[in-house]
Amino acid sequence: VASTPPQQTSTPYDTVKVDLSSGRDYPIYIGSDFTDTEAATLIRQHIHGKRVLLITNDRIAPLYLERYQQLLSDNSVDDKELVVDTVVLPDGEENKTYDVMAMVLDKALGLGLDRKSTFVALGGGVIGDMVGFASAVYQRGVNFVQIPTTVMAMVDSSVGGKTGVNHPLGKNMIGAFHQPQCVFIDTSTLNTLPDRELKSGISEVVKYGLIRDAPFFEWQEENMTKLLERDPEATRYAIRRSCENKADVVQADELEAGVRATLNLGHTFGHAIENGSGYGTWLHGEGVSIGTAMAATMSEKMGWIDEGLKQRIYDILESADLPVKLPRDSPMKVETFNKLMSLDKKVADGQLRLILLQGELGNCKFTGEFDTGALQETIEEFVK
Ligand code: NAD
Ligand code: MG
């Protein structure tokens, strides 16, 4: 992991490259306050056909849709003749469904879009995951571009090619791996993001430090206030460093045969909490935050990390104003955890596997070999 200090923001934007084993690579552009022409020039380089379908939701549409539709259709910046149509989907995790995703396919077919078309996702992780999935299956796969507008999407979901939708029996249960042509991040879109969503995204930033980047974790311990205040330099640095970490992991293991699973620290517990509490109760990053606290607690119970490190994990999550426990009236019970966790995609041959912390800060382990007693004790402690 490169560790260039955050002061170097004199360049107009940063580029993080994702180098895939397939030989294909793609850039993540990270900057703020791009002019329309700069944005158009950068993004249009990665659009090869003539037709673009720009997809967002009804919450983001009034804020950013017109701008992006206009700049993407600005044919004066290069010699392409692009036509940009739009789709506006209903907002919300509860709409991350097969049926809502199919509205994109219906629109594309209705417009007669061919295999050379490009889908562009403008929004958070929900839009990115659904549009990515629609691009993976539309005519067996079309190009797509990610324009993430939440911290969660900028640091995590827009990078790495996991796409999909939820099923009533589980989150992200239907999906595909499909990599974008580029990711375009304008951090100024975060100015309209609600605080709660901002903090939710920070839980994934904390994750990178814990699983593989101790210096980044230490930087966050010093700079959390700046991140919460949306300081542009700190924000850009945290996003870049997160994307570098995610790119490193995805490059090593694009299809999640091994190390990529470590990006799911806190997620097995977190997904159970998100699902079992009813959609809308917890944001993804909030579930991950409680899940990370559970992973830390369980790791400490097994003697894999010391009490001091466990405390630092709780401290950093609390400094980001993220939840580290379930409320008293939570519907989560021991049985709910056990049932929902057994549905996790990391279950192999009936055996649950978890990402736990082990050793010094920045080290973790993806394993099915853990003390099941410590797991049950941890769950009991959290549902109490
Ligand atoms: P989200 O997409 O629901 O966005 C959160 C809310 O903020 C929504 O209401 C959205 O409309 C709104 N919003 C988005 N950008 C805005 C802006 N700039 N200003 C104002 N409002 C804005 O949620 P999310 O946290 O971005 O993403 C969560 C989803 O991402 C989950 O479904 C999760 O499973 C998925 N995810 C996927 C991956 C992956 O690798 N594919 C990784 C992490 C998370
Ligand atoms: Mg996540």
pLDDT truncated to tens, each residue of the chain (384 aa)? 555 555 555 568 999 999 987 778 999 999 998 999 999 999 999 999 999 999 999 999 999 999 999 999 999 999 899 999 999 999 999 999 999 999 999 999 999 999 999 999 999 999 999 999 999 999 999 999 999 999 999 999 999 999 999 998 878 899 999 999 999 999 999 999 999 999 999 999 999 999 999 999 999 999 999 999 999 999 999 999 999 999 999 999 888 888 999 999 999 999 999 889 986 899 999 999 999 999 999 999 999 999 999 999 999 999 999 999 999 999 999 999 999 998 777 777 778 999 999 999 999 999 999 999 999 999 999 998
| Sign of the alpha-carbon torsion through 150, 257, 344, 89 | positive
Distance CA 267, CA 270 (A): 4
Ligand 1: atom nearest CA of 162 is 41
Q: 284: Cβ below 6 Å to ligand 1?
A: yes
Ligand 1: atom nearest CA of 160 is 40
Ligand 1: atom nearest CA of 126 is 2
C-alpha triplet 176, 182, 186: angle, nearest 5°: 115
Mark whether 363 is an active-site residue: no
CB 246 within 8 A of CB 263: yes
Closest CA to 301 of 365, 351, 370: 370
Mark whether 271 is an active-site residue: yes
Beta strands in 151-294 (DSSP E): 162-167, 170-177, 182-186
Q: What are phi and psi of 77, to 5 degrees?
A: -80, -20
Distance CA 326, CA 210 (A): 22
Q: 197: Cβ below 6 Å to ligand 1?
A: yes
Q: 199: Cβ below 6 Å to ligand 1?
A: no
Separation of 125 CA from ligand 1 center, angstroms? 4
Q: Where are the alpha helices (DSSP H) in 28-124?
A: 36-44, 66-72, 98-110
Mark whether 260 is an active-site residue: yes
Active-site option among 199, 260, 301, 353: 260
Active-site option among 57, 95, 143, 264: 264
Beta strands in 329-368 (DSSP E): 354-357, 364-367
The residues that bridge with 27 in the sheet, in sequence order, are 17
Residue entry with tokens 């939708």: 165
Q: 162: Cβ below 6 Å to ligand 1?
A: yes
Cα of 222 vs its chain's centroid, Å: 23
Distance CA 148, CA 134 (A): 16
Q: Which residues contact 52 (CB under 8 A, 6 or more apart)?
A: 72, 73, 82, 83, 84, 85, 117, 118, 119, 120
Mark whether 267 is an active-site residue: yes
CB 48 within 8 A of CB 80: no
CB 144 within 8 A of CB 158: no
CB 199 within 8 A of CB 321: yes
Separation of 152 CA from ligand 1 center, angstroms? 6
Cα of 150 vs its chain's centroid, Å: 9
State the distance between the two ends of the chain, measured CA to CA, in whole angstroms. Answer: 40
Active-site option among 46, 51, 162, 199: 162
Mark whether 256 is an active-site residue: yes
Specify the residue with its C-alpha closest to ligand 1, atom 37.
Answer: 157
